[in-house]
Amino acid sequence: MEIKDRILQHAQTLFLRNGIKSVSMDDIAADMAMSKKTLYKWFENKDQIVLAVMGQHLDKVQGECATVAGQATNAVEEMLNISQWADQQFSGIHPSIFHDLKKYHPAAWGLFGAHKNTFILSQISQNLRRGMAEGLFRPDLDVEVLARLSLAQIELAFDQELYPPAQFEPVRVNRVFDEHFLLGVATLKGHKLINDYRHVTEAE
How much is the average pLDDT of 72-100? 91
Angle between helices 75-90 and 121-133 (to 10 degrees): 150
Closest CA to 5 of 35, 37, 49: 49
Nearest to 98 by CA among 88, 109, 107: 109
Q: Domain-by-domain residue ranges, the chain? A: 45-198
pLDDT exceeds 90 at position 154: no
In the chain the first and final C-alpha atoms are separated, in Å, by 57
Strand, helix or coil at 137?
strand
Which pLDDT value is given to residue 93? 85
User: 42-81, pLDDT tens digit by residue?
Assistant: 999 999 999 999 999 999 999 999 999 999 999 999 999 9
Q: To the nearest whole percent, how much of the chain has pLDDT over 70? A: 98
Does the pLDDT of residue 82 top 60, yes or no?
yes
**How many angstroms separate the CA atoms of 164 and 70, rounded?**
35
Residue 1: which pLDDT band, with cuts at 50, 70 and 90?
A: low
C-alpha–C-alpha distance, residues 189 and 149, integer Å: 23
Nearest to 95 by CA among 150, 16, 27: 16
Q: What's the one-letter identity of residue 62?
A: Q
**What confidence category does residue 92 fall into, taking pLDDT thresholds of 50, 70 and 90?**
confident
CATH code that applies to domain 45-198: 1.10.357.10
Torsion angle of the four alpha carbons 125, 146, 77, 189, in this order, in degrees rounded to the nearest 10? -120
Ramachandran class of 151: left when φ > 0, alpha when ψ lies in -120 to 50, beta otherwise: alpha
Q: What percent of the chain has pLDDT over 90?
A: 84
Region 67-96: what's the mean pLDDT?
A: 91
Q: How many angstroms separate the most distant Cα atoms in the chain?
A: 68
